[in-house]
Amino acid sequence: MNLSELINYKYIVASVVFSVLGILILFLAFWIVEKITPENLWKEILEKQNMALAIVFAAFIIAIAIIISSSIHG
């Protein structure tokens, strides 16, 4: 049994493509939320130390990541 029989490159390439696609969708969701909110989220979280906004935004990112991962996983 050689290495090419053990490793199916089709699945590795599909995994990388779906991972990159998921990351792009996550960044797109972040950008959309950043544009529709009245304040600059990044500035509000880092400069003004708004912990409540950071927690809400982290929950949003986790929720979007779960949706993306479940859609990729099948």
pLDDT at position 55, please?
Answer: 93
Give the tens place of pLDDT for each residue, 55-70: 988 898 898 888 877 7
pLDDT at position 35, please?
Answer: 87
* Residue range of the domain that includes 50: 3-73
Give the tens place of pLDDT for each residue, 1-43: 666 667 778 877 887 888 888 888 888 988 888 888 888 888 8
pLDDT at position 4, please?
Answer: 66
* Tokens linked to 24: 């792009």
Mind spelling out the 3-state secondary structure of 3-59? HHHHCCHHHHHHHHHHHHHHHHHHHHHHHHHHHHCCCCHHHHHHCCCCHHHHHHHHH
What domain count does the chain have?
A: 1
* Distance, CA of 65 to CA of 53 (rounded, Å): 18
Q: What angle do CA 18, 56, 45 make, to 5 degrees?
A: 100
